[in-house]
Every structure is written in C-alpha cells, then in structure tokens.
Amino acid sequence: MILVLVCVLALLAAGVAGAVRARVPEGRPIVYGASLGACAVAGLTGLASIGLAPSTLTLPLGLPWIGAHLRLDALSAFFVFVVNLGGAGASLYALGYARHESAPERVLPFYPVFLAALNLVVIADDAFSFLFAWELMSLASWALVVAHHRAAENVRAGYVYLIMAAVSGMALLLAFGLLAGPGGHYDFASMRAAVATPGIAALALVLVLIGTGAKAGLIPLHAWLPLAHPAAPSHVSALMSGVMTKVAVYAFVRIAFDLLGTPPWWAAVLVLAAGGVTAVLGVLYAVMEHDLKRLLANHTVENIGIIFIGLGLAMAFRANGVAAGAALALTAALFHVFNHAVFKSLLFFGAGAVLTATGERDMERLGGLIHRMPGTSFAFLIGCAAISALPPLNGFVSEWLTFQAMLLRPDLPQWGLKVMIPTDGALLALAAALAGACFVKAFGVTFLGRARTQAATAAQEVDRWSLAAMFGFAALCLLAGVLPGALVDLLAPAVRALVGQSMPAQLALPWLSLIPVAAARSSYNGLLIFGFIAASTWLTIMVVHRFASHALRRAPAWDCGFPDARPQTQYTASSFAQPLRRVFGGALFAARETVTVPPPGDIGPARIEKEIHDPIWERMYAPVGNAVWRASGTMNRLQFLTIRRYLAMVFVALVALLLALALWQ
C-alpha cells in the first residue's frame, strides 16, 4: 500500500522534473526511466498483494472532515498490476520511441501525472478522491491528446474528448451523490454498508453505466475514442486504449459489484445488450477503417464490448444467486481485461513503430514492411493473432471462458435473460470472427505485399527499447495463453471478494489444464495444444526436409499469368474490406458504392467511389450538438442587456425561488 503510494509520489515528482527539464535532451531518459522504475515497483507490489488482506490508509488531504481514504484490496491490487504493467511497457517503449518526439515539453510533464492518476483511481476509497483522480486522469490524458496541437483534427479530437469526459464525470458525480444518501457518507466503506432502495440503486446503476461507459467506449458513448486515442503519441495511445479503458472497467466493477450489492436482473440485460452491440459495431467500425491507429482504437471498443458481456453475465448469475456462474463470468471478464491491456498495448507500439519508420498511419500507403522491419512485424503478428482469439494465445482463453459461462446455466428464470444470453453468444461469435478478418487486413495490408510508397520502401527497423517492449508483451500473450490457470488462480481472491465464490483452483490440475466446472463438461489445455502444434510443425518440417526436394527457385510472381509490376494494383485496405462493407455496411452504415465508367472512346479513368455514414454520429451526436449550438446562440443575447434588466432578472429569480419554497411547504 505504502509502496504504491510512494510510486505515485515518484511519478508526480517525475512529472515536475519533466516540466522543468523538458527541453534538455536528458529530460527524456530521466522521466521515462523514472516512470519505468516506479511502474515496475508498483506493478510488482500489486501482483504481490492480490492474495493479501485489504490494507487501508487515511491521509489528511482533500476535504477537511473526510480526508483521503485509500484502500488496496484484491480487485484494486489486480488493477494496480494491470495499470503498471501497461505503464512499464509504455515507458520502456517510450525510452526509444520518444526520441522522435517533436514537442517533448508538451508530453513529458503530463505522462507521469497520467500514470499517477491511473494508479490513484484504482486505490481511491472515497468518492471525493476517486473523482479527483478520475478528473486528473481525464485532464492529463487530454493534454497528451492535444500535444500535437498544430493538426486541426487533434484539436477537434481533444474537444470531443473533453466534452465526453465531462459527461462521464458528471454521471459518476450524480451516481456517488445518490449512493452517499442524505447522510452524505462519501467513503466507500459506508456506501458498501448502506442499503440503497431499489429505485435509487437502479438510477445509480444506469448513471454508473453511462459514466464508466463513456470512459471505456461503450456504444453509443464511444464517439470520442477513435478520435482521441490515435491523436496522442503512440505510447500514450497504448496507455489510453490498453489501460485507461480498463480503469473505467474497474470503476464499473467497483461500483456495480462492490458498492451497490446485488443488482436486479434487468440491469444485467441492459449491460449484456450494451456489451453485445458494442462488440459487433466496434469491430465493424474497425473493419471499415484504413488508418492503422484508428483501426486499433475502434477495435478497443469491440474488446470493451466483450468485457462488458462477461460482466453482464456475472450480473445475471448474481441476480439469480448462481455464485459459481458469476465467478466464472467475472473471471472471464477480468482475464480479458488483462489480455486486452497486453495485446492492445503491443499493437499500438507496433503502429507507433510503423509511424516512426515511415511517417504514415494510412495503411493504403504502406505495405511490404515485413522485409524492412522483421522484428516489429513478428511482434505485431503475435498481437494480431492474440486479439483475433486464436489458440494457443491468450485472447482465445478469455473468450472461451465467456462461452463456458454462457453455457453454465441456461435455465435462468427471466425471459429477458433467456433471449439476451444466446443472442449475446451469437454477437460475441460474430465479433470474434470479424476481428480475425479485421486483423488479416491490418497485418496483410501494412506488412505484407509490396511497398506502396517511397516512404514504405525506405523504412528502417526501430530501436532496441521499442523492440524490447514489443517482444516482452508478445511473450506475455503466449505465456498467458499456454498457462491460463496461473492467471485464473491469480484472479481468484478478487473474484471471491466480489461474488462470494471463485473458480476452482487450476494450477494443481494435472498437465496444467484449464477446467472451469468439471472435466466432463469442458477443458482446455493451452500448454499441450501449443506443444502439439510445435511438435507437429517440427515433425512435418523434418519429414518434408528428409524426403522432399530441397530445390528452391525465386521467380517473378505468377498471378495467373497477369502479374503487374505496379504495387498500386495490389489489394488495398478498402478493397479488402469491400465484401464485408457490402454485406454489413449497406444496412448499418448506409454504405454506397458508385462506379463511373467512361463511355467507349473516352480515355478518362473509371472511378469507384465509396461513401460511408456513421449512424450514431449523425443521428445522435450531430442533433445534440446542433441543439446546444442553437441554445447557446439564443442565450448569447443575455450578454447584451441593460443593468436594469439584469437586476430585474435577479429579482424575478429570487421571488420565484421564494414562491417555490412557500408552495413546497
């Protein structure tokens, strides 16, 4: 506990150092090195204290009659571990990556503060410190989003982000107000002890879903995410996508599972519906995207959907008193929290490496990087396979556990759950398959094929710090995939504290299998699957090299006899996504393609134009934005009144309030 707090203070100090020494060249290693050290210590502390009893600390800071309550229980400890794992990786990566930073004075002071705020949110134990840390996290990350403020799109992203952060903070503030009750007990311990009336609890739950959903990227509150995450420098994008969204998940779990008590069953339906829609729409947005970093950011939305499906299942089981099911579903969700933190950071590091090497984020202008950047492309490939839920990597395990949770108890009594759970099964399966399609596109267009521009031809492999960070996370993807039992056992104390039961211990099982319920029901052994794949690949290669011809000849590509030397004739990201756009886009995104072919004899080019509309932005955000704009235009007139009229307004308002008071009594 103390150790984590010391690390937070060290990070804040590093922020000050960053502000002071931003412009000198040694500022960068000092800040990122200090962040790396602090995150490593804090992360290990978190890892070590998951199984320990909760420790609390009250600091005489903040509001005088409350103080700042801090608490490190199993759930906080797990999230401290995830946050600092991501933080340490990003700092390591930044040691090399940030060398190319054009405006270090706009990044260095805020980066450690951001990390400190992320840590503070997960250890806060009263509403005031929680909201303070939450807003500090929003502000620090906003400053990082607008670090490259010369590009107009970054400024717009920062603007949208700020509005959504305000909405999120407001919803959480109201939720805590409701939870604190008329007595105004703002520390979490009293909220936990208090029993809210069903109406208040329901309202608070909806507000929490809005508040944390806006931060995590639940559709339809996701609009800022694909704008803001890519705008920041890549190591910060990794932190925002991989870690900050997880802190929002932490906030939801903390409030919905810990502070609110047992939820009603319809809340589970709400969360399941939000999760399912988010998962499928998020990946569809990603499929349509051809900016590498925006694709990754859109994909974060999908993964948040998968996590919320797990959380919704846990709520459904909890509402019906099925503790074993709740434990399984919650474990699956938290497992995916860890997984996503790892592979999304890895993928953003890879995208940053591509950006450094070529200066391009647009996949249509890349290609063939596997020859120029072998290390980056290998690590990125591992990340792509992991996020597409392919065995033996880690993404598969968490989705497998989610499916097992769905199958555990099909006999829940409420009709809403009976319809929603199988529907979510289909949506989750669809999202997983589309994720595979999306990452075939992302990897295939960026790294494979032939270079489409000069910049891609001249790319160079990135520095060792960045490669070390990427390969470290790729190794974690494999490790968590082949030894899932270790992570499940690690999560057990946190799950037990929240739902009263945990999954059976896994590490003691023979062959290190993963058996969620019973061996006859389902089991998965990542280690053996990995072993079998490795062994049979090795065997095949041995046999083929023993008996087959060794001759190998390099020749021009065959391409059915129509090879074209121009790299522009390759499949692009847009053409790769065309079948999926045609199937899903027509109904969901009003996607249209217009082909103009010149008449015979005309030597002008034929053109194909595609058009995509974002339904949520156009139907939801744009009308609200316009309404606010009009309303503020109307209010603007209030600025130009005479003094007498202002006085009259004050007078009328006073009388109206007094009248209201009189009538109330």
Partner 1 sequence: MIGALLVQLAQMALVLLAAPLLTGWVRRVKARLQRRRGPPLLQPYRELYRLIGKEAVIAENASWLFRTAPYLIFALTWVGASLVPTFATGLLFSWTGDLIAIIALLGAARFLLALAGMDIGTSFGGIGASREVMIASFAEPAMLMIVLTLALVAGSTQLSTIAEFMLASASLRVSLALALVAFLIVAIAENGRIPVDNPATHLELTMVHEAMVLEYSGRHLAMIELAASLKLVLSLSAIACIFVPIGLLRGSDGSGGYAIGLAAYAAKLAVAGALLGTFELAIAKMRVFRVPSLLGGALMLGLLATLLLYVARGM
Partner 2 sequence: MSTFSIDVANTLAGFLVLASFLMLYQVRLPALLNMLGLHAFILAMAVAWQAYAQGAPELYVTALIALVFKAGVIPVALQRMVVRLGIHRELEAVTGIGLTMLAGIGLVALSLEVMLPVTAHADPLTREYIALALSVVLLGLLMMVTRRNAVSQVAAFLSMENGIDLAAAAAQGMPLVVEISIAFSVLIAFLVIGVFLFRIRERFDTVDVRALDEFRGERR
What are the distances in angstroms from CA 11 to CA 37, 109, 141, 144?
9, 10, 15, 16
Q: Which residues contact 285 (CB under 8 A, 6 or more apart)?
A: 226, 298, 301, 614
Among 224, 524, 589, 621, binds partner 1 (CB under 8 A): 524
Are the C-beta atoms of residues 175 and 131 closer than 8 Å to each other? no
| Residue placing its CB nearer to partner 2 in the complex, 195 or 426 | 426
> Which two structure tokens, joined as six digits, stand for 636?
């603007």
The interface region with partner 1, picked from 148-156, 298-306, 330-338, 421-429 by CB under 8 A, is 421-429
**Min. distance of Cβ 279 from partner 1 in angstroms?**
12
Write down the residue that tokens 């804090």 correspond to.
42
- Pick the closest to residue 28 from 82, 93, 85, 89 (CA basis): 93
How many Cβ atoms are within 10 Å of 226's Cβ, its own excluded? 26
- Binding pattern for the stretch 10-29 against partner 1, x by CB under 8 A and - elsewhere: --------------------
State whether residue 592 is helix, strand or coil. Answer: strand
| Residue placing its CB nearer to partner 2 in the complex, 583 or 638 | 583
Among 152, 193, 508, 555, binds partner 1 (CB under 8 A): 555
Residue 69 backbone zone (phi > 0: left; psi -120 to 50: alpha; other: beta): beta
Q: Does 547 bind partner 1 (CB under 8 A)?
A: yes
The interface region with partner 1, picked from 80-88, 206-214, 429-437, 639-647 by CB under 8 A, is 429-437
User: What is the rounded CA–CA span in Å between residue 54 and residue 23?
Assistant: 42
Tell me which amino acid residue 191 is. Answer: M
| Residue placing its CB nearer to partner 2 in the complex, 181 or 425 | 425
| Residue placing its CB nearer to partner 1 in the complex, 136 or 440 | 440
- Pick the closest to residue 340 from 485, 477, 483 (CA basis): 477
**Min. distance of Cβ 588 from partner 2 in angstroms?**
11
Q: Does 513 bind partner 1 (CB under 8 A)?
A: yes
Are the C-beta atoms of residues 247 and 255 closer than 8 Å to each other? no
Burial 462-501 (b: 16+ CB within 10 A, else e): bbebbbbbbbbbbebbbbbbbbbbebbbbbbbbbbebbeb
- 242: which DSSP letter? I
The interface region with partner 1, picked from 8-16, 67-75, 122-130, 414-422 by CB under 8 A, is 414-422
Are the C-beta atoms of residues 31 and 18 closer than 8 Å to each other? yes
| Residue placing its CB nearer to partner 2 in the complex, 51 or 422 | 422
Number of residues that bind partner 2 (CB under 8 A): 4
Among 23, 152, 183, 415, binds partner 2 (CB under 8 A): 415
Peptide bond into 220 cis (omega under 30): yes
Among 154, 320, 398, 525, binds partner 1 (CB under 8 A): 525
Q: Does 358 bind partner 1 (CB under 8 A)?
A: no
Q: Does 537 bind partner 1 (CB under 8 A)?
A: yes
> Which two structure tokens, joined as six digits, stand for 259?
């502070």
- 587 interface partner picked from partner 1, partner 2, none, CB below 5 to 8 A per type: partner 2
Q: Does 629 bind partner 1 (CB under 8 A)?
A: no
- Pick the closest to residue 336 from 289, 400, 425 (CA basis): 400
- 619 interface partner picked from partner 2, partner 1, none, CB below 5 to 8 A per type: none
Among 51, 321, 563, 598, binds partner 1 (CB under 8 A): 563
Are the C-beta atoms of residues 125 and 188 closer than 8 Å to each other? yes
Q: Which residues contact 206 (CB under 8 A, 6 or more apart)?
A: 270
Secondary structure of 248-301 in HEC code, one letter for each residue = HHHHHHHHHHHHCCCCCHHHHHHHHHHHHHHHHHHHHHHHHCCEHHHHHHHHHH
User: What is the rounded CA–CA span in Å between residue 221 and residue 205?
Assistant: 16
| Residue placing its CB nearer to partner 2 in the complex, 85 or 427 | 427
Q: Does 295 bind partner 1 (CB under 8 A)?
A: no
The interface region with partner 1, picked from 110-118, 417-425, 465-473, 606-614 by CB under 8 A, is 417-425
**Min. distance of Cβ 435 from partner 1 in angstroms?**
9
Among 419, 597, 608, 650, binds partner 2 (CB under 8 A): 419
Q: Which residues is 362 bridged to in the sheet?
A: 291
Looking only at the bridges linking them, the beta strands covering 607-611 and 592-596 are: antiparallel
Among 560, 587, 606, 635, binds partner 2 (CB under 8 A): 587
| Residue placing its CB nearer to partner 1 in the complex, 433 or 622 | 433
| Residue placing its CB nearer to partner 1 in the complex, 106 or 450 | 450
**Min. distance of Cβ 195 from partner 1 in angstroms?**
32
Chain-centroid distance, C-alpha 582: 28
- 437 interface partner picked from partner 1, partner 2, none, CB below 5 to 8 A per type: partner 1
Q: Does 468 bind partner 1 (CB under 8 A)?
A: no
Among 3, 437, 497, 620, binds partner 1 (CB under 8 A): 437
Q: Does 590 bind partner 2 (CB under 8 A)?
A: no
The interface region with partner 1, picked from 115-123, 333-341, 349-357, 395-403 by CB under 8 A, is 395-403
| Residue placing its CB nearer to partner 2 in the complex, 142 or 265 | 265
**Which residues of the chain form contacts with partner 2 (CB under 8 A)?**
415, 418-419, 587
